[in-house]
Amino acid sequence: MQNLGNTQYFKVEKENQVGVKEILRQVYEAMRDKGYNPVNQIVGYIMSGDPTFITSHKNARSLIMKVERDELVEELLNEYIKSKSWQ
């Protein structure tokens, strides 16, 4: 039996953190797999906040909802700027 008079310690494992770029990649793939236009659907989600724009296939809807919409826009804009060599 444990001594309950002492401080008890326990460790909680952190959930795997997935970056915004990886989430967008996975969501894009899931949308493409289901035959949707990923760009149109992701834009619809970002503009409206309605998660039904994103398929639940491959857990894409749950993944994208872990990221704030402004973070998605920021990531997309950063990648666009990099691709145009504006930085």
Per-residue pLDDT tens for 4-36? 777 777 776 665 567 999 999 999 999 999 999
Asked if residues 56 and 63 have their Cβ atoms less than 8 Å apart, the reply is no
Would residue 40 be called left, alpha or beta, if left means φ above 0 and alpha means ψ between -120 and 50 degrees? alpha
Residue at 3: amino acid letter: N
Per-residue pLDDT tens for 34-83? 999 999 999 999 999 999 999 999 999 999 999 999 999 999 999 999 99
Rounded CA separation 71/65 (Å): 11
Please give the model's pTM, rounded to 2 decimal places.
0.78
Rounded CA separation 5/23 (Å): 45
